[in-house]
Amino acid sequence: MPLTFETVDRGPVAFGFFNIESDMLLLEQCFFFAGLFCAEVAEAARGEDARRTTWSVQVIDRPEDIGDLMGAIRGERLVGFLGETYRRYPFPARDEDFRQQPEGHRTRAEFREMIAPFAEGREIPFELDPDAEEVRIGDHRFTRTGFGELVAYVWRGGWPRWRDGIRPDDVLAMRDAVERSGHWLFRDLVLE
């Protein structure tokens, strides 16, 4: 489930997994796969103090096209992109089955197909500012600590966590790069 995280400039924003059968993440109206996030974090961990690149993401501008997450989870309001995902992959009937699936990368083609009618592909900036100790993702700026919370969320498998504690290879590679890094961005970040 997406959780709320603090930004420097916009207050709280939603970030996280939204369907346990996919490794797609949302950051407000931007959608991208965990593989991109993990690869960019790992590259930052191995890189220079300052970094500027772009991410190719899907953006849904209209809230009604995003849908109603809680309504979709309950199976009561299957509208927008989120409704489509829960139509195809309903919320599990048993509480113990509510776990982020480490095989979520296998559904990427399906999720790309489902989001296509609602979203537009865009390039958004990903920047590391060592002077301010901030990270920019699109229109959102995070403190070093705030960005570390996003990394830790993906490492844990969000809420409800990875099924059986099994993490995908890209998540493991991200953790390895972060743990070996001397980069200012990951100072004091512990992934448990």
Nearest residue to 130 (alpha-carbon basis) of 182, 77, 192: 182
Whole-model pTM: value is 0.96
Give the pLDDT confidence of 164-192 residue by residue, as tens digits. 999 999 999 999 999 999 999 999 999 98
Residue 124, amino acid: I
Calculate ∠ Cα 26-31-33, nearest 5°.
90
Q: Is 117 exposed, middle or buried (0-12, 13-18, 19+ CB in 10 A)?
A: exposed
> Kindly report the CA angle at 147 between 146 and 149, in degrees rounded to 5?
65
Question: pLDDT tens, 139-168?
Answer: 999 999 999 999 999 999 999 999 999 999
